[in-house]
Each structure stands twice: as structure tokens, then as C-alpha cells.
Structure 1
Amino acid sequence: MKKYKIMNLDCANCALKIERTLKNLRGVKKVSLNFAAQSLFIDTDHIDLVRQTITRIEPGVTITETDLNFNTTAVLKFNIMNKDLLMIAIGTLLFLTALIIRSLHIIEHAFLEIIIFLPAYLLLGRLVITKAIQNSIRGQLFDEYFLMSMATIGALFIGASAEAVSVMLFYQIGEYVQNRAVNKSRAAIKSLLEIRPDKANRLDLAGNLLVLHPSEIKTGETIVIRPGEKIPLDGTVIKGESWLDTSALTGESASRQIRVTQVVLAGMLNMTGVLTVKVDRPYNQSSIYKILELVESAVQNKAPLESFITKLARFYTPIVVLLASLIAIIPPLVVPNALFSEWIYRALVILVISCPCALVISIPLGYFGGIGAASKNGILIKGANYLDILRKIKIVVFDKTGTLTEGKFSITNITPFNDFTKDEILKAAALAEYHSTHPLAEVIKQNYGQPINHSSIEIHQEIAGLGVKALAEGKHIVAGNDKILHQEKISHTTCAVGNPGEIVIHVGINNQYAGYIQIADKCKDKALDSIHELRQQGITDIIMLTGDRQETASVVAGELGISTFYADLLPEQKLLLLDEMINRDQSPHRPLYMFVGDGINDAPVIALADLGVSMGNIGSDAAIDISNIVILNDSLKKIPQAIRIGKKTHQIVIQNVMLAFGVKLIFVVLGAAGVATMWEAVFADMGVTLLAIFNAIRTQRSAFSI
């Protein structure tokens, strides 16, 4: 799927028409167009045919490929909107002048009345009528331009000239306000994209600094970041120390201290010292690039309600036009003394109210705003469909280590056996874990603290759920849980060692039991509050899965009030267990499962869940790729917050559906009964559209903060 920016598209109904046509176009495998985001995602090898088709449907609309180097056209749009405002002002003056002339009763013929209102009508309605004619020639009937033209021209012919102009006037006012609202929504998302770095200071061999775009910097090159500058690329600090503001990535205001050898990520803001950084990854593989790509791409995954409204809009307008035609023709033929002019006027009122703009614009805008609100709070949701699933989640399954607990381990004790010393056990474990990236391995290596000659490690093998085996310095070493001792047939006195809540790493050297290392972890701050809040939000069951032993799992579960937990699980056992849980209930309305993990060693489980969430690994490609939702920091409070955003967004979207259908149904009935006039119809049509848009914009507010 390639992403294109769609230019000069100012009509939500036209966006639907383009998307519908492209879906049926030869060579197009998949397409998604989002009017609010002005983006087109399409999978095709015939992009020239796509461009031609778009131009045929909407002349002047073009697409340009985007690469996240966003060049906005805000000034151009501002000037265009100012011209629209000037047109509305002049049209209003002409309209008021015509009303004053008519009130003086100096016009005796209906034809002359049309003449005095015609300048205002043509000024305000010329673009609408032109588009209606162009679309009709192309066989595209029943859009908003056709409806407005048909209704107003009909009104002119039956002597309702003022009403005809008022329809065009209020339509233009509604379009102007609507465009401002939609642009405000786009600006909310674009403000997120401003965290992207736009320059990098490369240090050359002569010690000179060259200012380049981050995309021009290669892996392995050295960059310098001064105080107040954004970090442009992912890398490792080789000189200096500083405090970094990570809020742009994590949604949290807490700053973080960085020293030599630590990793920094693009998008963070350097606050105090000068940092010299060796670049680890090119710009298009950096964490910030992937995050921005995810935010921009989220609009292509539409919620079921969006898809339903898209299909409904295709049939809604023709049905209303048919209804209006029947109302204009049948009553005068069957009702005694009924006048054609009276029933035609009623039909025109129905045409004015029939435009589906309120639904077509406000529903995608609501989801768009919800995704933007989540992004501002450090929660990346990969599409409106996942935002919608959030409100349906009933069971949340947590991985333990690094998710419910901090994953910041410390060695509390080393117990030697068989004449081995503590130092020998720690060194053997560090050698065995040298190539491992597991958090426990990092703790062991940090505590050993001595340089390791990697060439002395001849063999290294990780065994999922058990530990590691290595041949290092001529010694056969195993390190892991007690299961690896049984697998390697290493004799030991007892398996259940250590204190409740601790993790135990057993070490064997040359098939002899050397001893064990006790490592402690603790629950995350506010983990208990987050669990409580999830239950308040209607989560019926909270489950914990872990590879740790039963005693350790029991301590953590008890501390957090989790009654259901499973311990001593291998990664594949976690997968099988979640699959069994999901398939226990085969009914269409079974409870939906969310799995929350770190996105590294539990990737298959995250992928299996109805909604997979990874948290705290913004530098991990795997975490971003496999998850439906990515939490950019370690805060468990983000989980109930995401559910809250999902529920609120859905509530606002449903409000808009009921508001739009309710008002339109009422005015169709009132119009058919002859109670509603065209003035009231245009107020109702534009009014409900604007109300729905403003209601949808509420999803962008930060009322979801923790």
C-alpha cells in the first residue's frame, strides 16, 4: 500500500464517490480514502490510470506521493478561504438588497422578482451549478451539487426566489464553517507530526559540523545535538550527558537523564548538555519515522460503522430523490384541489434536507479525532477499527515481567554449591548470557561489570522458556530455570529455592551444579490503580501469564488483586493457553480479549489476541509492527485511558448518527406535510451538519488525560 496526499478535494461526498470508483477499477487491489486526513492509501500497479480516473470524477483533484516530509499548503488554503468569505459577504449584501426591494412592493411581475434575486443566486451558486452540470455529463447524479441545483432552480420556477438564494447562501456558509472545522482537525494531527526532526549536525573527520536533513545521515556517522535541539536520529551517546524531554514520544512530561553508552531516540528534545551521538539506524528506520508513519497510516483502517455509512450514502440520496418525485407528482393527481406548485415546493424542501453530508463528514472526523487524541497521550492506535474494538473488550490478559512489573531487576543473593564461589557463578552466568538481550541477562552482565572477550564464547544457544547454553573459555555453561537443569541432566538438591516473588537463575558448569542467583523485581507504580480502573470500566476478568515459577507469580498476582494467573509457561504455552481461552466461547457475541505485553518475546500472543497491545518499546520494530496498539511508555494507566478514548469516540459517533438521521427524518415528515419551509430545511441541513462536525471535534480534546 502506497500513501498519497490528495489535493483540492473539498467535498466529503466526492471523496466517497472517488473511493467507490477506485475500488472497482481494474488493477486496484485495495484502496482507502480519508477525507478528514486528505490521504489516499492504494495498492495498484496502475497509478496513472488512478490519476486519470480521479481527474475524470473530480476535475482539479490531484494526488501526490508523500514520504513524511510534509509540505503544507496552509497559506494557499487560507487565501482560498478568505476568497470564499468575501464571496459570501458580497452575496449576502446582494441578497439583502433584493429583499429590501421586494419589501417595497415595487415589483409587479414574478419574472422581475427572479431578476432582482438572480445576481445573488448566480454569485453564491455558480460553483454548485457548474459542478452539478459537469457531474451530470459524466453520469454522476444524486450528489449534493445535483440536489442543491435541482431544489433551488425548482424554487425559482415556482416563484420562491428568496428561498432559492437562501439555500445557496446558507449552503456556502455551512461549507465555509465546515472547511474551517475540518482544517482544525487536520491541524490537530499535523501538530503531532511537528515532532519530526528536520535537521542534523553531522561531525566530519575534520571536526566541522555540517547541517543536513536527517535522511542524508548514514549509519555509523557522528552527530552533535546542542541544548534545545531535537534528536534527529536513533543512536548511542559516545560523549556528553544531558537531560532529555521525551514527552513528544511518550506523552509523559517527565524528563530523563542520558549518559555515555545509553541509547537516544529521534524526536526527543535535548534540554541541557551537548551530546555526541553515533547513529545506529538511518532516518527511514528510526523510531520517530515509524511512529509518524503509523499515525498517518491509521486512517486507512476504517471502523465497521464508517464502512456502513459509506455504503448507505450510495443508496440514501437516490431514495430521497425518488420520494421527493413521488410527493411532487402523486398528491396533485389524487388529492382534490391540490396544486402542483404547492407539492413541488414540498418536494424541494425534502431535496434540500436530503444531503448526507452530516454523516459522511462527521463519522470519519470523529474517529480521526479519537486517534489523534490517543496519539497526543502516547497511545498509537493503528486504525478506527481497533479504536472501535477497544470499547468491546471484556477480558484483559497481561504478561507479567516488564508489563505488570518494572522489569528492572536487581541481584539480591548468590548461593554457591559444590565448592564454586559467588564470583565464579556470576562470571559463568555473564559469559552464558553475553549474546542475550533478555532483561535478566542485562542485569547479570551489569552486575559482573568486567569486560568479556566475546571471541572466547564459541557457542551460544537460547532455549525458549528455559534459559541459555554456552561454550565459553572451554567450559560448558547452562543458565536458566530449574527446567534447564533437568533437560541437561544436571544433578541438584532442590528446585524450589529463593524467596517468594524472586526469580531464580540456576547455573551449571561442566555438567555440575554451581549454584543459583536470586533476582528481584517489583510491581510498576500505579499498577494496582490501573487494574482497579479497568474493572470500573467494565472489564470482567483480568488474567496474568508468566514464565516465572508459581510462587513468584502468586506474590505479584496477590499484590495486584489478580485472581486468575498461570505460571511456569513457555512462550508457546502462552500462545496455546490464550487460543484455548478465546475458543471456549464460539458464539458470535463472545467476549473479546486484549493481550498486553512488551512486544518482544510474546509477539505471537499479541498477534493472536482480538486486540494486541505492546508497551514501553518505542525503539523496537517488532513491537510497532505486530501490535494493534502501541503504548509509547511503561505506564499501565494508558490501558484504561485507551479504553476510555475508544468508548468516548464511539459515543460521539453514535450521537452524530442519531442526530443526523433524527433531524432529517423529522424534516422530511414536516416537509411532506407542508409545515417546514425551504428556509427551515436549509437551516436544518446545514445546522445538523455543523453540529455533527463540532461534536466530532470533541474527540480531539485532551479530556482523556490521566
Structure 2
Amino acid sequence: MSSRANATLHIPVTGLSCAGCVRRAQSAIEQVEGVAEAAVNLANEQADITLQHNANSNSVIANVAAQLKKAGYPTRVEEIQLSLNGMHCASCVGKVEKALRLVAGVLDARVNLANETARVEFIASTQGADVRIRDLLQAVKQAGYSAEVHEYQQQDQAHTKQKAYQQLKRSFWLAFALTLPVFFVEMGSHFIPLIHQLVESSMSLEVNWGLQFILTSLVMFGPGLRFYKVGLPALFRGTPDMNSLVAMGTLAAWAYSCVALFFPEWLPSASRFVYFEPAAVIVTLILLGRLLEARAKGRTGEAIKKLLGLQVKTARVKSNNGFQDVSLSHIEIGDTIQVRPGERVAVDGVVIEGESHLDESMLTGEPMPVRKTINDKVVGGTLNTNGTLLYRADKIGADTVLAQIIQLVERAQGARLPVQHLVDKVTAVFVPVVLALALVTLLVWLMFGPEPALTMALVNAVAVLIIACPCAMGLATPVSIMVGTGRAANDGILFRKGEALQQLRDIKVVAFDKTGTLTEGKPSLRRVVRAAHAQFPETELLSLAASAEEHSEHPIARAVVAAAKAQKLKLQPTLTFEQISGMGLEAQVNAHTVLIGAARLMQSRGIALGNLEQSADDFASEGETPLFIAVNGQLEALITVADKVRESTAIAIQTLHGLGLKVAMITGDAKHTAHAIAKQLGIDHVVAEVMPNGKVDAIEALQQAHGCVAFVGDGINDAPALAKANVGIAIGSGTDVAIESADVVLMRSDITSVAHAIALSQKTMRNIKQNLFWAFAYNILLIPVAAGVLYPIWGLLLSPMLAAGAMALSSVFVITNALRLKDINKEA
């Protein structure tokens, strides 16, 4: 959480139970000054808030927290106690309090000079409390004091949810135990003669109803109190939600029964019945539904749990007294850290001593451990398999690769897809409409229903209120997104923008960059062919070329330099160097002007290619990239470089064709080379010899001809093309995941992940449609049934208890359906 322009805040929101809650919480946030946009997600209980330009993030956070609390959906606040050192007076207290309150996410800070402690209230971080604590300790340090955590126990999101689940579980079983006798006495008497005789002989009707009153009241105002504490205030504020519907329905049944029990003379004799049992059963069934829902929702966030499980809690940091175990929040950049066999690397850094092999499968998907020695980079979360390493911490906290991955996954899981707008529009009016329908049901049955009309009216109105709770609507989209993006993350596919999950479904063409995407990006020198009138021997030409190419970062340049070093040729001083975009380079090497590049570079300088032009075409047709070398304006040689096609490329293209997609290749390579590789791989469309900006034009042409285009590149040289495509897919290097131009990042080099991402998008969107259909159809079909439209035809009514069961099961169905996405095969 920062005060950067257009920064995005991620704030947990509690009390959400349906789509209506989401809409009201979002509306409350959007009223806060400084908020440009807000999106509330029911599945992960989080609000993603985009700030207006130059808005003060802390001021906005405080106001957002206040608005959410006022609306009945408070954010989750945590509190820690810090032990302080260096304070002497009230001025010190003021300085420390001011420093702590300026930390993003802090709501309040209170410092006690007497015992040198500070109590800090802050909004729970979606990345866990360690990140926030590190910021607090750093703020105190910058104010001129020192601090450490005092008796702090981390309350991360998973622990909080587990605690809430256990409380819900206890509430359900208590409600079940209290409801069972009520159900036994009431329903058992109706269906089992022996129970009816036993109840009638052992207690009077007044005692029977009195017992039901006591037990039902304990259920409603004990385990069920949560519905009334949230639902009634929302109703009085004029913003009723799902809890309001449950509260109104059960209270109506309970109140009517209390009148029948305590003031029977107020009711017609034909209407003197009690409905304690439906009220108790409804509360119990809805608690059961929420319990099942919480259990299922816990499984939707397993991807985040798995990633969080890779984070270590402590590390062995070198100090004056040797190595000491230090909390992750206390590690600073530059610290020397020891990692022993079987331990995970704590933070990102560079090896300064030792040699070992690290299991980096969490990044690359490759099962073979990677050798690490001095000056090699190590990434936090990777597993050390054998030797002991010392490394210098280079990135900590939110800057580490693992933290970035977690952030990307969380951002994708909290995404708000365009399809969600339909749900928003419906839920905006849904609960008020239901209340109106319940009132109409009550009045119609009172006026036209058979005797006992009052009883029938009440039962059917309650059934309408209970059946219509829009939980399934609110969960339909976010749970599928959470499971789908979580599954993608497990397969090394990170959605930087959640919208890409929907956009990928509509892709018609997948365009690939060649070097480093379709190929391994490790070209090697294949041939050196001297011109007929060459002035320099082959070794001298290779030395000049390597001397010039040493200053270029292009993969082909590295291949030329590697070939020269392999022959142990001496590189010469380079006085000037100029990269000629899309064509090659020019350099002054000693006394010689060296020109290296494609045929179009030579032609632009008026250098004839002679007999080498045909040779270049022949080699290009075999998939090799030809380059010409001219020295002092004279053509000297033709060299060719070849880059091995990835083993997975052919399979990936076949899979994309199997999905009904066209495949294109956009490259700056020579036409003959590009077409040779395209023919070998079965690529449909080739655009070759293009400048970097030409790739954007090529994508525009594909969009006009075919529709939505996905472009796959390395995320660095291809940034304009990635941004222009409908969906930009960057192949990450395993450690470079923050590729700003891409919508999707592939952590692994296997480009079959492209087809997998598209297939997963298609199946996720299909899953969302199934959920939405069920959620809408459920309400559209069952609300009229609950109102009693089938009664005049077949004499059928929907019991409020059955309505409660159906309502609870609808949410469980939606979540269970979304969880099927976890079982998608990678080859699918």
C-alpha cells in the first residue's frame, strides 16, 4: 500500500455473505474521497481499491475502514505490541506515534513511555503480517529509535479463516443439538404414531409449545444471533442483505408462534399454530450451509496456501557473534545468510561462498536441481538439496520473486471480470424485489387463500424470504476465478490481469516471437563462408566480428562471441559501437570499420552481396539465420547462426490447432529462415524481417483479419507487441516475473503452457456460465414455487425448511462445481 499515483490497495472485508453484500460494501468504498475505483470479491473477502492521482493512501484507508464499518462490513484489523528502545520524553512518544501512523495500513498507534511499548492497529495485509511488521520496524528506526516485536503471534489469513471455520462448526453443532428435540417433538408427532402418543401422554400442548419456544429461542439468539446482528441493522439502514432475509423470515415465524403460545386470543382459532420448529431448522440448515461453504471455500485458496508454505519463518543471519536465527521480518538488504542442506532459501540474493544444488521446480517446473556457486542468484522459497551456501540478501519483503508471485496470484484471484457486471446489475435490485414479492405473497394468501389463511400466508412469505437468498449469485464468478487462476499458478501460469482469463477464451490467433520463444534462445555459430575476394583470413574475421558483437546483448551476438572464445581467439579493442535497430551493428575495431548484419543493412550501405546472396538463401531455407560481415566497406564473409527449436514447440502448435486456433510467427529474422522454420512446425502465417515496431503493425493486421490475437514473447524486446495484443503472454525466465507489458506470465519455458492457459480460460468461463445459470435459474424457478403458484394446480407448497436446505445447497453446489477446475489435465 503506497501513496503512488493510481496505486492499488488490497483490503480484507468481513461480513460478506452474498452478492448484495458485495454491492453495498463496494458502494461504501466508492463514496470515499480519493477512491477512483473499487472491486469487492466475495470469494477471497477482499477489496481492491484504485486510488485517484496523488491521493493520500493512509487517509483513504482510514476513511475506507470507517465507511466499511458503518456499512456493516468492517475490514479485518490486527494489533501488535512493539518493544521500543531509546525513548526519554513525551516528545519521543509523539515522534514514534507519528512515524507509525504514517505507515501504510496503520489505523492507530499508541505509545506508552512508562513501559516503552507501542500498540499498533493496522489493516490485515493480504500477504500476511510479516510485511507490515517489517515496515513498522523500519519506520521506528528511521525516526531514530529501535523496536522489536513484543509477544506477537502471527495471525495470517489462513489462520483467521480456520478459526472462523471452527467457530462456525461449534455454532452449527450447538444449534443441531438444540433443534433436534424440537424437530423430534413436532415432526415426529406428525409422521410416527408412537411418538405422537408418547408426546401427548407425557406433556400438555402448552408444555410442548413452551419447550419448543425455549429451545428455538436458544437456537435463534445463540448460534443464530449472527444473522440478526448483521441483518437487522442492514434492514434498518435501508440496505437489506441475505442476513436480513433470514432474520425477517425466522423472526416472523418465531413471533407468530409466540403470539399463538402466549396470546392465543389474538388469533382466529383456525390459525392457532406454532412454527418454532421451522425457525429453528432454518437457522440450523443455513449454519450447515455456511459450514459446508466455508469448508469448500477453504479449498479454493490452496494455491496461495501452497505458495505461502514456501516462505520460511526464520533464517540464519551472520552477526558478530556468529550465525543467529532471525525472523524473516528482521532481515535487511546486505545481510549474509546461511542456508544448510534441506532448508529453503529465505530471501533473494547472490551466493558469496559455497557450492550446492537448489530445487527450483517452484519457478521453472524442472525437477532437476540446479547447481549454484559464487555469484549465482538464489531465489527465496527454493530448496537447498545438498551443500551449505552463504549468500547476500539482495531483495526482501514484497520485492522478492516469491512475494511477487503471490501478489500476482492474489491480484488475479481478486479480479472482477466483465461478466460480473451482469450479476452486479441483478443483485442491485434483487433483495428489495424479494422483499416486495414476500409482501405480495403475504397479501395474496391473506385475501384469497384457504383457511387458515393467516397461517398459510405467513408460511409462504417466509419460504419466499428464505429461498431467495442470493448467496450462489455472489459466489458464481469469484470462486471459479479463484480456482481457475490457482490451478494456473500451480502449472506455472500467472495472470497479471484477471481480465485476461476471460479474454483468452475469445482468442482466434496466437502469434509467437521466434527467438527465445519458439526456439531456445541459445543460438550457435554454424558456418563462416568467406567472400571470393576476401582480404582477411577466417580467424581474423571471427575475431573482428566477436570484438564488435561483444557490446551487444542480442542472442546472435552472444553466439558469435562464444564461438570466438571457443577457438581461443583474442578480442580486439572496440573504439565505437552503434546498434542499427532491426538490421545489425557498426563498430570501429582497432583501425577497421566493421559492419555486421542482414542483407538489407549491406544493401542500405551500397555493398554488393555477390555470390554470397544465393548461399545465404540456401542456408536460410535450412532454418539458419544468415549475417554478412563487411570490413572497411568491403564484403568479407557470410556467417550463419542457428537456434534450436524447443522440444515442446511442435506439440504446442498442434495443441493450439486442436483448439481451433491459427498460429502465426512474427520475427525480425530473414524470410527464408522464418518460412523454413514455419514449414517445419506447421505455422499458418509468417511475418518476417520486421523491425520491433513492425510487430505492432503485424498484430494490428492479424486483428483486422481474424479478430482477437494473443502474442507470446519474452517480455523485454517484445513489450510494444505484448501491449498491443488483446492478450500479451510473456515467457518468464523463472526469476523475472514482473513483466509489466504482459497480461499473462509463463514461469516455465514450455510453451505448451500457452495452449493450457487458453484451454483453462475456456473451461473457467464455461464453469462461470454454469454457476450463473444455476444461481439465476434456482431463484427464478423456486421463488414462484415458494410463493405457492403450484398450490392451485397440484396443491404443492414449499416448506420454509426445504427452502432453507435448498438455499444452503445452492451455494455448496456452485463452489463444488468450481472446484472441478482443479482437476483439469494440463494436456487438456
Flag whether TM exceeds 0.5 (same fold).
yes
Amino acid aligned to 1:119:
L
- Alpha-carbon distance, 1:191 to partner: 1.3
Aligned match of 1:95: 179
Distance 1:286 1:454 in 2: 38
Aligned match of 1:29: 36
- Alpha-carbon distance, 1:78 to partner: 3.6
Aligned match of 1:659: 774
Work out which of the residue numbers 594, 612, 628 in structure 2 matches 1:506: 628
Distance 2:569 2:433 in 1: 77
Work out which of the residue numbers 3, 9, 24 in structure 2 matches 1:3: 9
Distance 2:45 2:663 in 1: 40
Distance 1:503 1:488 in 2: 20
Distance 1:643 1:569 in 2: 27
Distance 1:610 1:79 in 2: 42
Q: Is 1:18 aligned to residue 116 of structure 2?
A: no
> What secondary structure is seen at the aligned counterpart in 1 of 2:641?
strand
- Give the RMSD, CA atoms, in angstroms: 3.0
Distance 1:168 1:573 in 2: 64
> What secondary structure is seen at the aligned counterpart in 2 of 1:86?
helix
Q: 1:238 to 1:32 in 2, by over 3 A?
A: same
Distance 1:567 1:169 in 2: 67
- Alpha-carbon distance, 1:208 to partner: 5.4
Matched ranges for 1:150-299 at <5 A? 150-156=248-254, 157=256, 159-196=274-311, 209=323, 224-235=338-349, 237=351, 240-258=354-372, 262-277=376-391, 284-299=398-413
- Checking the alignment, whether the CA contact within 8 Å between 2:348 and 2:393 is kept in structure 1 is yes
Q: Which has the higher contact order (CA 8 A, sep 6+)?
A: 1
Unaligned runs of 5+ in 1: 586-590
Q: 1:506 to 1:284 in 2, by over 3 A?
A: farther
Q: Deviations over 1:327-363 (max 9, x none)?
A: 2113533568782331332121111111110121242
- Checking the alignment, whether the CA contact within 8 Å between 2:65 and 2:74 is kept in structure 1 is no
Aligned match of 2:85: none
Amino acid aligned to 1:519:
V
Distance 1:660 1:59 in 2: 23
Q: 1:348 to 1:257 in 2, by over 3 A?
A: same
The 10-residue stretch of structure 1 (491-500 or 607-616) with the greater mean CA deviation from structure 2: 491-500
Distance 1:465 1:207 in 2: 56
Amino acid aligned to 2:216:
F
Q: Deviations over 1:634-656 (max 9, x none)?
A: 10211111112112212222221
Q: Deviations over 1:461-495 (max 9, x none)?
A: 22221112223434332222122222333444243
Distance 2:614 2:124 in 1: 60
Aligned identity (percent) is 26
Q: 1:233 to 1:126 in 2, by over 3 A?
A: closer
- Checking the alignment, whether the CA contact within 8 Å between 2:126 and 2:157 is kept in structure 1 is no
Aligned match of 2:697: 576
> What secondary structure is seen at the aligned counterpart in 1 of 2:294?
helix
Matched ranges for 1:320-359 at <5 A? 320-333=434-447, 339-359=453-473
Q: 1:328 to 1:248 in 2, by over 3 A?
A: same
Q: 1:267 to 1:509 in 2, by over 3 A?
A: farther
Aligned match of 1:486: 603
The 10-residue stretch of structure 1 (487-496 or 278-287) with the greater mean CA deviation from structure 2: 278-287
Aligned match of 1:700: 822
Q: Deviations over 1:217-239 (max 9, x none)?
A: 67777655433333445555565
Q: Is 1:39 aligned to residue 46 of structure 2?
A: yes
Distance 1:489 1:211 in 2: 68
- Checking the alignment, whether the CA contact within 8 Å between 1:221 and 1:278 is kept in structure 2 is yes
> What secondary structure is seen at the aligned counterpart in 1 of 2:627?
strand
- Alpha-carbon distance, 1:529 to partner: 1.6
Instruction: Normalising by structure 1, report the TM-score.
Output: 0.90
Aligned match of 2:419: 305
- Alpha-carbon distance, 1:542 to partner: 1.2
- Checking the alignment, whether the CA contact within 8 Å between 2:39 and 2:48 is kept in structure 1 is yes
- Checking the alignment, whether the CA contact within 8 Å between 1:432 and 1:472 is kept in structure 2 is yes
Amino acid aligned to 1:629:
V
Instruction: Normalising by structure 2, report the TM-score.
Output: 0.78
Q: Deviations over 1:379-405 (max 9, x none)?
A: 001243211122221211111121112
Work out which of the residue numbers 548, 557, 561 in structure 2 matches 1:445: 561
> What secondary structure is seen at the aligned counterpart in 2 of 1:436?
coil
Aligned match of 1:609: 725
> What secondary structure is seen at the aligned counterpart in 2 of 1:497?
helix
Q: 1:573 to 1:315 in 2, by over 3 A?
A: same
- Checking the alignment, whether the CA contact within 8 Å between 2:349 and 2:377 is kept in structure 1 is yes
> What secondary structure is seen at the aligned counterpart in 2 of 1:384?
coil
Q: Is 1:317 aligned to residue 439 of structure 2?
A: no
Q: Is 1:548 aligned to residue 669 of structure 2?
A: yes
Distance 1:455 1:281 in 2: 37
The 10-residue stretch of structure 1 (460-469 or 210-219) with the greater mean CA deviation from structure 2: 210-219
Amino acid aligned to 1:298:
A
- Alpha-carbon distance, 1:80 to partner: 4.0
Aligned match of 1:134: 233
- Alpha-carbon distance, 1:613 to partner: 0.5
- Alpha-carbon distance, 1:127 to partner: 2.0
- Checking the alignment, whether the CA contact within 8 Å between 2:544 and 2:572 is kept in structure 1 is no
- Alpha-carbon distance, 1:262 to partner: 4.9
The 10-residue stretch of structure 1 (72-81 or 85-94) with the greater mean CA deviation from structure 2: 72-81
- Alpha-carbon distance, 1:216 to partner: 6.5
Q: 1:195 to 1:335 in 2, by over 3 A?
A: closer
- Checking the alignment, whether the CA contact within 8 Å between 2:649 and 2:751 is kept in structure 1 is yes
Amino acid aligned to 1:66:
S
- Alpha-carbon distance, 1:411 to partner: 1.2
Q: 1:67 to 1:55 in 2, by over 3 A?
A: closer
Distance 2:299 2:819 in 1: 9
Amino acid aligned to 2:652:
S
- Alpha-carbon distance, 1:611 to partner: 0.7
> What secondary structure is seen at the aligned counterpart in 1 of 2:310?
coil
The 10-residue stretch of structure 1 (110-119 or 433-442) with the greater mean CA deviation from structure 2: 110-119
Q: Is 1:685 aligned to residue 685 of structure 2?
A: no
Work out which of the residue numbers 757, 763, 767 in structure 2 matches 1:642: 757
Distance 1:530 1:482 in 2: 32
Rg comparison, structure with higher value: 2
Distance 1:386 1:76 in 2: 30
Aligned match of 1:122: 221
- Checking the alignment, whether the CA contact within 8 Å between 1:618 and 1:624 is kept in structure 2 is no
The 10-residue stretch of structure 1 (661-670 or 567-576) with the greater mean CA deviation from structure 2: 661-670
Matched ranges for 1:628-639 at <5 A? 628-639=743-754
Distance 1:571 1:685 in 2: 56
- Checking the alignment, whether the CA contact within 8 Å between 1:3 and 1:66 is kept in structure 2 is no
- Checking the alignment, whether the CA contact within 8 Å between 1:368 and 1:384 is kept in structure 2 is no
- Checking the alignment, whether the CA contact within 8 Å between 1:252 and 1:377 is kept in structure 2 is no
- Checking the alignment, whether the CA contact within 8 Å between 2:18 and 2:470 is kept in structure 1 is no
Distance 1:280 1:459 in 2: 34
Distance 1:477 1:211 in 2: 57
Residue-pair matches, total:
697
Q: Deviations over 1:115-156 (max 9, x none)?
A: 553333332322211222222343322x11110111112223
The 10-residue stretch of structure 1 (548-557 or 415-424) with the greater mean CA deviation from structure 2: 415-424
- Alpha-carbon distance, 1:213 to partner: 6.2
The 10-residue stretch of structure 1 (181-190 or 166-175) with the greater mean CA deviation from structure 2: 181-190
Q: 1:458 to 1:42 in 2, by over 3 A?
A: farther
Q: 1:563 to 1:646 in 2, by over 3 A?
A: closer
Q: Is 1:57 aligned to residue 71 of structure 2?
A: yes
> What secondary structure is seen at the aligned counterpart in 1 of 2:421?
helix
Amino acid aligned to 2:24:
K
Q: 1:203 to 1:129 in 2, by over 3 A?
A: closer
Distance 1:485 1:284 in 2: 49
Distance 1:371 1:667 in 2: 32
> What secondary structure is seen at the aligned counterpart in 1 of 2:307?
helix
Q: Deviations over 1:424-477 (max 9, x none)?
A: 222222222223221112222222228999994443222221112223434332
